[in-house]
Amino acid sequence: MRRWELAIALDPGRELPLFLQLAGAIADDIRNGRLKPGEALPGSRELALRLGVNRNTIVAGYGELVAEGLVSTRVGGGTFVSEPAQSLPAAPAVAEQTPTYALMPPLPLPASGHAPAPGTLMMANGAPDVRLFPARELARAFRRAIERRGRMLLAAPHPCGHIRLRSELAAMLARTRGLQATPDNLMVTRSIEQGIDLVARTLIRPGDTVAIEAFGYPPAWSVLKLAGAQLLPIAVDGDGLDVDALEAVLLRQKIRAVFLTPHHQFPTTTVMSQARRTRLATLALRHGFAIIEDDYDHEFHYEGKPILPIAAGTGRANVIYVGSLSNLLAPGVSTGFVLAPPSVFARLQSVRAASDARGDAAMECAIAELFEDGELLRHVRRMRRTYASRRDALAAALTRHLGSAVTFRVPEGGMGLWARADDDIDVARWARDAEREGVLFFDARRFDFQQRAQPFLRLGFTYHDENELDEAVRRMARALGRRKASLSEPAIAT
C-alpha cells in the first residue's frame, strides 16, 4: 500500500480550531478520491511533527473523522480510510475554470480514431512487425552498455546524442547513402518528428512559407505549423513532387523551405526521379530556400539499388536530411537523426540544447552495440527479405480477391502500397464497412492536405505475415461485396 503524501496547511489565525481544519482537509481529500479506501493515514506523532502542532490536535482531528465514518482504526494500530467509498457524501461540485489569456487552437492529433476491435487486421499506414523485433539482442546490448559504461551513461549526456551512436550512424550514412556525415554534423533525436521539429525551429520564422507534398504525412505538417509556417501544397505525380509546379510558385513568391519524402513518397510510395532531384537542388541554391529531406524508411528498397538522397548530390548545400531507425526496429525504439550543413548545425545544436539537452544515452549505446557487432546489419537484411515477400503477397491477394476493383503499381520500396479504387466505389464508406469486417485501412482523405474525397487507399504490408495479409484482403472483398449487393437490391414497392 502506498504511503500518503500529506499536503495540508493549518492556519492558527483562523477562527476554526486546528483539529477541525485538519479533519476538514482530510475529509475533502477522501470525498474527492485523492485518498482511496483502505489507505493508511500517517501516525499521530509523525503527522504532528510534520505540521508542527501538538499530537493531541491530530488525535482530536482523527476522532472527528472516525465520528463521521470517514476513517476507522484497526486492532494493532493505524488509521485507515473507510470502505466503501461510494457510500460517502460527495464533495460539492467545483466549477470548471477557463484561463483568461488567449488560447491557441489545438493542432490535429495523430489519426487514431477509436481502438479497433480485438482481432482487427491493421492495414493502415505501415509499421514494422514488432514480432520480429530483435528483443533478445537489444537486451543483451543494453546490458553490456550499462555494465561497461554505467557511470558515464548516467552522467549528463551530450545534447546531440552519444558519440558512439553518432559515429556508427555517420559511418553507415556515408557507406550506404553517400552522405558526407561525421559525428560533428549529425544529431540523434528521440524520434523523426522531434528531428523535424528541431529543424523547423532552427529554420522557420512565423509567417514563412514552406512547400509540402499535397499528399503527405500530417504529423510533420503539424510540427511545421508549430514553428509558424504557412504550408503550401505542391502536387505529387508518378515522379514525385512536381518540380515544374514548384518553380511556377517561385516566380510569384518566396518560400523558406520545401519538405518532402523523395525516396518512398509518403503515402504514395513513388520514388522521385533523379532528374527532379537535381532540378530541385538547383532551384534551392538559386532561390535560397532549404530542402528538408525526410528519408524515413531508406533500408526498405526491394527493386535494384536505392537512389541516393538529395543530400548526397552536388546541390546538397541547402539540404537538411532527417531519418529514423524506428521503422527498422520498432515504434517504441524511436531513434531519429538529423544531418545538416555545419552552419545550420551550430544553430540546430543550440536549439536542441535549450529544449531537450538530455537524450537516452543508455539506449543509444545499446543500439551502437548492435551496429558494432553486426546484428543491426543482419536485421536489416532479414527485414528487407521479409517485407519484400509480404509486398508481393499483398499484391497477389489484391489481384486474387478484388480483381479490377483496384488498380496499383507494385512499389519499388517502402512499407505500403498505394491503390486506386474503381470510380463507382466510395472508398471512405468501404473503409468503414471493412472495419466492421475486421480490417482497418485508410482512404486518401487522411493524407490529402485539403482532405478531399478521392478514389485512393493506402495499404500497409509490413505489419502482418503473408497469411494474415491474404485474410485482410479477403475481409476487404467481403465488405465491398456486401456494399455492392445492398446497392443492387431492388426497391420493394409499397
pLDDT per position as a tens digit, 211-225 = 999 999 999 999 999
Query: Whole-prediction pTM value?
Result: 0.78
Give Cα 15 distance to the centre of its chain.
54
- Tens of pLDDT along the chain (494 residues) come to 445 566 787 888 888 888 888 998 898 888 887 888 888 888 888 888 888 899 999 999 998 898 888 988 876 678 888 876 444 455 455 455 667 777 777 766 665 555 678 889 999 877 888 899 888 888 888 888 777 766 666 666 788 988 989 999 999 999 999 999 999 999 999 899 999 999 999 999 999 999 999 999 999 999 999 999 999 999 999 999 999 999 999 999 999 999 999 999 999 999 999 999 999 999 999 999 999 999 999 999 998 877 899 999 888 899 999 999 988 888 877 789 999 998 899 999 999 989 887 778 888 888 988 998 899 999 999 999 999 999 999 999 999 999 999 999 999 999 999 999 999 999 999 999 999 999 999 999 999 999 998 999 999 999 999 999 999 999 999 999 876 655 444 433 33
Determine the length of the chain.
Answer: 494
Q: What angle do CA 95, 12, 57 make, to 5 degrees?
A: 100
Instruction: Please name the amino acid found at residue 476.
Output: M
Domains of the chain in sequence order: 18-87 (1.10.10.10), 121-130+378-488 (3.90.1150.10), 133-374 (3.40.640.10)
C-alpha cell of 2? 502506498
Grid coordinates 478484388 are at which residue?
Answer: 402
DSSP 180: -
Q: For residue 91, how many other CB atoms are within 10 A of its CB?
A: 13
* CA dihedral sign, ordered 176, 177, 181, 187: negative
**Of the candidates 332, 433, 393, 412, the residue with the CA atom closest to the CA atom of residue 127:** 332
Give Cα 109 distance to the centre of its chain.
10
Q: What are phi and psi of 111, to 5 degrees?
A: -65, 110
pLDDT per position as a tens digit, 273-319 = 999 999 999 999 999 999 999 999 999 999 887 789 999 988 889 99
pLDDT per position as a tens digit, 77-128 = 788 888 764 444 554 554 556 677 777 777 666 655 556 788 899 998 778 8
